[in-house]
Chains A and B, each alone.
Chain A
Amino acid sequence: MNVEGPDFFAEPAPPPENAPETAEPETEPIGHTHSGMPIYEILGGGTSPEGEKFVRIKSRVANRLPNGEPDFRTTAVGETHVPVDDIPEDLIPKQPETASEEMTREKPDSPEKTGVQQVIESPEDREQKIRELQTPAETKPESGQEAEEQPVPESLRAVREEISSAEANLSALEQKLTDAKEKAKTAIDENNFQEASALAVEAAGYQEEIEKTKTSLEELQKNETMLADVLNPGRIQELMEEIEKRSADNSVDRSRQWDREPLGSYADMVEEAQLAKYLKKFTEKYPEMPAAIAQEISALIDERKRKEQRKSYVYRGDKRAAASIEEEDERSPEPERKFSPGQIVQAMRHGRIEQNWEVEGYPGDSNEYGDPYVDLKPPDGGLGLSVTESLLDNWQSYPSDFVTTRGPSTPTVRQGSGPETPVADMGTMGTDRSVTEPEASGGTVPPAPEPAPEPPVEPEPVLEPTPIAKSSEPGTSKLKRIRQGFVNWSEGGDWGDTETSQGGFWGNIFGPRESEVEPVKGRSGRTLRRMGRIGRRGAQGENGPES
């Protein structure tokens, strides 16, 4: 065991001269990561070139195939890196102040000074260590500074400066507008209509500028709120705990929950936590960009809400309203993407994701149920993974051969003989606005949940889960259902999606339909399929007219 104390703050330190050789791992691990990986030994720590703090541990890692690719079918004990927050607190050694202090304090020969636990001086020290490890690099206080004296992070300060500037600008514009109006009024009183007209035009210009500035200010304030949460790990923890509590409460009778209680506040909270988690990752890694990221995510969230609203219309049979949203989306320009897949890889590189895996998707992308995701594909064309944000911190513990979902597959319920309706997956990070934000539009199902101060009334007709929902045990977590293999491997709606032309509850196991697929180089799914049909027919030796 390395009792010299790994450096968790800076570049990986070279092992001390007299450090013992790394021993063979014991049969029993000394602990497990939060994501379930066994820990045989903590070897040290460091900070990646991208600024990400990691811990080097001995754990079980995949063997390599002859071609160098990981072979997840077999594992062996080896070194791997995991994020610091994946390591249980009681396994993180204390950081010594200086090497000399450490040398005077440590007694390697002492039998009670062996093992990681013994180098931790006190619980207070350990808590301080954890706090420091979880603090984004840019917010880490200088040596000697008290935690309470942490400087405002540069990114947050920049946003606040922008807000101050915008507020000052807004105030000045409002004053100009007031002045122009007063002058115009005076001009009218003096029958100087020419000047009054000119002042009216001037005032209109100020008014327009004021509206723009207000919009900009609102965006900035939104960013500030998100950033402040991101930089406050306690807030994220608070949100997560509340979500877990609410999820546990709801798990008692999830099938009815959506029908009785307005879930807006819950959904907002979940969304906030999702955003906060995303922003936290990127703030730590790209401290100069969080404001831009926040803006991009905000835009994507808006886009997501429109999609969810469209789905809610579809479920309620209001095709006209759904079509209206589609038309609006088609007219809107595609949101600009600022972050490359490579940056995503950097942000998510832990566990089994190899650096050379191809990534599709961008931060902030989300499926129609609101879960962010990225697709990860190995270069050899083997089975890939679609990783949702809510899975990221857990997926290391998954069996290697499973194929996850691109997003949560929401279990469905059938209401009488009506169409199937998704149930909000309260056990996960997902938000299903199709359930939480239905709007009255003459649809038939499901009834719009309204704020109900009255005691809940037994809904009619009684909701019954579909067979597939039974198979996947409604009420179990999304993660569990994924492990059970009941979740679609890719986006495309629910089991039992009644929108599919082919029908069948397995209708979506193959991924998005041609009407759902993202355009490639501006070509729609329909065009892409027609192109593919040419190739398929050519490969099959067909060349006749299309059937």
Chain B
Amino acid sequence: MFQLDDNLLKELGLGDLPAAEKNKMLAHIYETLELRVGMKLAEQMSDAQLDEFEAFIDKNDEAGALKWLETNFPDYKKVVADELEKLKSEIKAQAPAIMEATMAELQGNPGN
């Protein structure tokens, strides 16, 4: 099990970001991870499976959707883990630039 929290940002080299920026960054990580996982899962599903899975989501039946996922795609956790690792690698590579740019932005726009 993984956590998307301050420890993750530290691991990525972004532990020194201001709190507000950390929150934004985590929000981005959540969004990006979910989007990529969704795309990967959709690529692997047949149209019929997509319809079934989507039906749970449209009904806001998250428990049902998760149960369906565990039944039909038992390795979905690996998909999530793989996508997270890829995302982490990408962010790590950009971390110094992000830090530098963030600090420059904050210094240039203290009101932000």
For B60, list chain A residues within 8 Å (CB).
545-546
Any B CB within 8 A of the CB of A157: no
Q: Which of B26-49 contact A (CB under 8 A)?
A: 27-43, 45, 47
Query: What chain A residues lie within 8 Å of B1 (beta carbons)?
Result: 539-541
Task: Provide the residues of chain A in CB contact with B45, threshold 8 Å.
Answer: 521
Q: Which residues from chain A contact B24 at a C-beta distance below 8 Å?
A: 502-504, 507
Which of B25, B35, B70 has a CB less than 8 Å from the CB of A538?
A: B70
Interface string of A129-162 (1 = CB under 8 A from B): 0000000000000000000000000000000000
Which chain B residues border A511 with CB–CB below 8 Å?
A: 32, 35-36
Q: Does A15 contact B (CB under 8 A)?
A: no
Tell me, yes or no, whether B102 is within 8 Å of chain A by CB: yes
Residues of B within 8 A of A381 (CB): 82, 85-86
Contact A540:B2 (CB < 8 A) given known A486-B97, A532-B37: yes
Given contact pairs A383-B90, A510-B87, A538-B77, A502 touches B54 in the complex (Cβ within 8 A)? no
B38 and A533 within 8 A (CB): yes
User: Per-residue CB proximity of B58-100 to A under 8 Å, as 1/0?
Assistant: 0010110110011000001101111001110111011001101
Interface residues on B, range: 35 or more
Quick check: B62 and A544 within 8 Å, CB to CB? yes
B21 within 8 A of A: yes
A527 at the interface (CB under 8 A from B): yes
Instruction: Tell whether, in the assembled complex, residue A401 and residue B93 are in contact, meaning their CB atoms are under 8 Å apart.
Output: yes
User: Hey, which chain A residues are within 8 Å of B82, CB to CB?
Assistant: 381
Q: Is the interface of A mostly helix, strand, loop or mixed?
A: loop
- How distant is the Cα of A326 from the Cα of B31 in the complex, in angstroms? 23
A468-B32 in contact given A381-B82, A538-B66, A538-B69 (Cβ < 8 Å):
no
**A121 beta carbon closer than 8 Å to chain B:** no
Q: In the complex, how many angstroms separate the beta carbon of B64 from the nearest chain A beta carbon?
A: 10
The answer to whether B105 touches A523 (Cβ under 8 A) is no
With known contacts A507-B28, A527-B54, A546-B62, A535–B101 Cβ distance under 8 A: no
**Assuming A530-B57, A532-B41, is B3 touching A537 (CB within 8 A)?**
no
Which B residues touch A525, using CB under 8 A? Answer: 35
B110 within 8 A of A: no
| Number of residues of chain A lying within 8 A (CB) of chain B | 48
Task: Give the interface segment out of A78-86, A212-220, A273-281, A512-520.
Answer: A512-520
B29 to chain A, nearest CB (A): 7
> Please, what's the 1-or-0 string for A392-433, where 1 marks a CB less than 8 Å from any CB in chain B?
000000000101000000000000000000000000000000
Q: Closest Cβ of chain B: how far from A49's Cβ, in Å?
A: 30
Q: Say whether A485 faces chain B, with CB atoms less than 8 Å apart.
A: yes
Contact of A528 among B2, B42, B62 (CB under 8 A): B42
Q: Are A535 and B41 in contact (CB under 8 A)?
A: yes
- Is A108 an interface residue, CB under 8 A from the partner? no
Residues of A within 8 A of B104 (CB): 467-468, 470-471
Are B93 and A383 in contact, with the CB atoms below 8 A?
Answer: yes
CA distance A505 to B31 in the complex (A): 17
A489 close to chain B: CB less than 8 A: yes
Q: A383-B89, A527-B57, A538-B77 are in contact. Are A514 and B39 (CB under 8 A)?
A: no
Closest to B53 in A: A531
Nearest CB in chain A: distance from B8 CB, A: 12
Q: B-side interface residues toward A, CB under 8 Å?
A: 1-3, 21, 24-25, 27-43, 45, 47, 50, 53-54, 57, 60, 62-63, 65-66, 69-70, 76-77, 79-82, 85-87, 89-91, 93-94, 97-98, 100-102, 104-105, 108
Lowest 9 CB-CB distances: which A-B pairs, in order?
A532-B38, A532-B37, A528-B38, A532-B34, A510-B32, A531-B38, A539-B80, A467-B104, A520-B42
Binding site for B on A (CB under 8 A): 381-383, 401, 403, 467-468, 470-471, 485-486, 489, 495, 502-507, 509-511, 513-514, 517, 520-521, 523, 525, 527-541, 543-546
Q: What 10 new A-B contacts, CB under 8 Å, besides A502-B28, A529-B34, A535-B77?
A: A403-B90, A467-B104, A502-B24, A509-B91, A511-B35, A514-B35, A528-B39, A532-B38, A536-B34, A539-B76
